């Protein structure tokens, strides 16, 4: 045994040194990418730890933790008592109010954008400043966006919870990754607790994409929409479920095409995917609003949250809201016959306009 003692001692020393080095790197990363960090992978990790939990509703997968808050991607994020990144709303709609429910993922939630600069909140502000003709003077636009949601999760949220707000209109934001399968919590302890693990994992993933070990974003996204891909099949089914519910409950429905901001028109690289969504909408007489139209003349990176994160920033959200507002100004129907999802006219009776804004 005596002859093994030096070797055992060296192994123990090596383990101790490696442990100290790893803990030091972990501490350094937490200091560097702490409150004001802008590393996408670490910020998403912090988001999952601080603001998300598994949902009891199977098709929802995950949801926000009510009354939680964090500082993410350079902005404060607060979640209300209903699990939404918004102010508090009563389920009972106030008198003389037109209520819009915005369904979506992180691009609707406003990843990296200030809460009052997300496109649902900017749209609400514009509608209240100058309501469309014939509409109540008070509008509420409720932001129900949750990071990493797909179309199935968004529609599930609407059926289980969103419809309880009795919206007059639903805007469902479609983003290019919405045909992904619903994510399930299967992370290891290291993935949940270590920023170093997340940092190294992000670097490794980036290296694989650069070297062709994994598909680049263009090939990956387009591949989601191949015929009979399970995620795409379920995405289509979810859209049709939403159309049916909105039709039965006389809710005005609009599809929003939220752009992947690496390329803008006229060279937008996912137009064929958007055409698939337009075809679903056309079959049910649902209006489609392509938010890329509002970005004309812009330089794509100027619309990103950071040089490494192409989520829509405050400027992009402002452009989206302007386009939405202009479209709704001329197409919203508050006190007259409107065409609901499904193509039938429905006579909608609204409260008289308030005398004050």
CATH 3.40.50.1110 for domain 57-184+212-343: yes
CB atoms within 10 A of CB 27: 12
Band the pLDDT of 339: cuts 50, 70, 90: very low
List the chain domain ranges. Answer: 2-32, 57-184+212-343
pLDDT at residue 348 in the model: 38
Residue 265 has pLDDT above 80, yes or no: yes
Residue 344 has pLDDT above 70, yes or no: no
Q: Read off the pTM.
A: 0.86
How do residues 185-195 score in pLDDT, each as one tens digit?
A: 666 666 676 77
How do residues 97-148 score in pLDDT, each as one tens digit?
A: 999 999 999 999 999 999 999 999 999 999 999 999 999 999 999 999 999 9
């Amino acid at each position: 045994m005596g002859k093994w003692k030096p070797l055992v001692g060296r192994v123990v020393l090596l383990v101790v040194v490696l442990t100290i080095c790893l803990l030091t790197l972990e501490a350094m990363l937490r200091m560097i990418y702490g409150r004001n960090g802008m590393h996408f992978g670490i910020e998403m990790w912090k988001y999952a730890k601080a603001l998300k939990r598994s949902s009891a509703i199977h098709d929802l997968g995950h949801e926000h933790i009510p009354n939680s808050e964090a500082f993410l991607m350079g902005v404060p994020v607060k979640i209300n008592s209903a699990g939404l990144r918004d102010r508090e709303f009563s389920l009972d709609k106030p008198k003389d109010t037109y209520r819009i429910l915005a369904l979506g993922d992180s691009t609707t939630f406003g990843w990296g954008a200030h809460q009052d600069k997300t496109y649902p909140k900017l749209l609400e502000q514009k509608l209240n400043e100058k309501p469309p003709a014939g509409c109540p003077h008070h509008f509420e636009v409720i932001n129900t966006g949750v990071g990493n949601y797909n179309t199935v999760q968004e529609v599930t949220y609407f059926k289980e919870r969103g419809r309880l707000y009795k919206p007059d209109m639903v805007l469902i934001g479609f983003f290019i990754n919405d045909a992904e399968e619903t994510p399930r919590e299967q992370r290891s302890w290291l993935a949940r607790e270590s920023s170093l693990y997340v940092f190294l994992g992000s670097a490794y993933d980036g290296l694989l994409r650069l070297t062709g070990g994994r598909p680049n974003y263009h090939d990956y996204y387009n591949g989601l929409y191949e015929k009979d891909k399970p995620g795409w099949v379920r995405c289509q089914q979810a859209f049709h479920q939403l159309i049916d519910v909105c039709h039965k409950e006389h809710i005005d429905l609009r599809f929003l095409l939220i752009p992947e901001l690496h390329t803008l028109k006229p060279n937008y690289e996912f137009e064929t995917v958007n055409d698939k969504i337009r075809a679903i909408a056309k079959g049910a007489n649902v209006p489609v609003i392509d938010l890329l139209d509002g970005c004309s003349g812009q330089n794509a990176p100027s619309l990103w949250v950071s040089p490494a994160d192409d989520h829509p920033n405050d400027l992009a959200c402002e452009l989206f809201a302007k386009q939405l507002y202009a479209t709704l100004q001329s197409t919203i129907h508050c006190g007259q016959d409107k065409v609901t999802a499904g193509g039938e006219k429905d006579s909608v009776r609204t409260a008289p306009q308030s005398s004050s804004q």
